[in-house]
Structure 1
Amino acid sequence: MKVSGAILFFVFASVFLSCTSKVKQESDINYHKNDSVVKFVKQELPESFEEFNKKFHSDSLFQVSRVDFPIEGKHVAGFEQYNWTRKNWQFQAIPVAEKTEIGEYQHSLVKTDTLVTERFWIDNSGFEVERQFKLIGNKWFLIYYNDINL
């Protein structure tokens, strides 16, 4: 009986191991249905602009990582003028908002699924700030920042 019990154990163990190996191999490959290959692709959902907006305007390291340098737009203050670089970047603490509490500024906000454009200005004053955020590879980036104060 001991010999047949040992043989039975090895038969069950080899069947079990060959089944789990086969399942692993099939899951690593593709699912075959009626001689056609069905591929399961994990798709990453686009980052929420609201969550990005909060983190971008509160975390300086995250902010710099999400500015698509070299960025379009420039800083102009009187006779001082320069393009934005990592070295001269100024932390932006004011989040994009639907409405603003600043009465003297005009404000516009245009949002699509892949682009957010916000603009502040004072008519006939030489003051205008515009920034654009774009969804690139399911992550939001600042792609344009114009800060004009003449």
Structure 2
Amino acid sequence: MKTIKLLTFGTLIFTFLSCKQNGKTQKKIEQNEILDSITINQINVPENVDLEFEVFLKYFNQDSVFQISRVRFPVKSKELDSDYYVIDKIVKKDDYKIIDLTIDPNSETKQYNKYRQQTILKDFEAKIEIRGIDNGIHQYYEFEKIEGKWNLTTWGYLST
């Protein structure tokens, strides 16, 4: 009788440990899949990147590490709530999503989601406006040259 109890107890412990180890293995696999899906693009950025806004923007779009270094966190942005009221939102570095403001040459001729993108440059400020053509797309991104370096300072997602 003692042998059966001991055997049952040993089987339960073995089963418990196997399940627990399997969970750790599965968790490790999931973490590796997440890390593999994150792409970090880092390229060599020239020292004179801030001389012209267009040059800065090229590297801002291509290099995710450079992009994050040129965002003034925390950022106050604007977006629409579910009732279409403009609300302010504070975005921390951990909540920031990499953006690409490269102009799509087909943006005005697409079948759906057509838009125009323009850059308005004034001295030490730049604003990129993205406006939909016959749709509710409305976004903007504002940059400011601070201490000789271009930085993203705010944006708005006001699409309806």
What's the TM-score bracket when you normalise by the shorter of the two chains? Answer: 0.5 to 0.7
Report the equivalent of 1:74: 78
Q: CA deviation at 1:134?
A: 0.8
Compared CA separation, residues 45 and 145, structure 1 to 2 (3 A): closer
Supply the AA of the counterpart residue of 1:132: E
2:61 is aligned to: 57
Q: Distance in 1 between matches of 2:49 and 2:158?
A: 35
Q: Distance in 1 between matches of 2:62 and 2:49?
A: 23
Stretch moving more, 134-143 or 65-74: 65-74
**Superposition deviation, residue 83 in structure 1:** 3.2
Say which of 83, 91, 95 aligns to 1:84: 91
Q: Which SS does the other structure have where 1:62 is aligned? A: helix
Q: CA 1:76 to 1:117, structure 2 compared with 1: closer, same or farther past 3 Å?
A: same
2:32 — aligned with what? none
Per mean C-alpha deviation after superposition, the further-off stretch among 52-61 and 133-142 is 52-61
* Code of the aligned partner of 2:91: W
Distance in 2, matches of 1:124 and 1:149, equals 12
Corresponding residue number in structure 2 for 1:128 = 138
The AA in structure 1 aligned to 2:98 is: F
Shift of residue 67, structure 1, vs aligned partner: 0.6
Higher RCO structure, 1 or 2 (CA under 8 Å, sep 6+): 1
Kindly state the Cα deviation for residue 116 of structure 1 after the two structures are TM-superposed.
0.9
Match of 1:94 among 98, 101, 118: 101
> Aligned residue for 2:156?
146
Alignment size in residue pairs: 105
Residues 1:85 and 1:124: Cα distance change in structure 2 (over 3 Å): farther
What is the Cα-based RMSD across aligned positions, in Å? 3.0
1:108–1:119 contact (8 Å) kept in structure 2: yes
Contact 1:77 1:148 in 2 (8 A): no
SS in 2 for 1:149: coil
Q: Does 1:114 align with 2:124?
A: yes
Partner AA of 1:108 in structure 2: Q
Per-residue deviation, 1:147: 1.5
1:51 CA displacement: 2.4
In the alignment, the residues of structure 2 paired with residue 45 and residue 123 of structure 1 have an alpha-carbon distance, to the nearest angstrom, of 33
Indicate how the Cα distance of structure 1 residues 45 and 60 shifts in structure 2: closer, same or farther if over 3 A, else same: closer
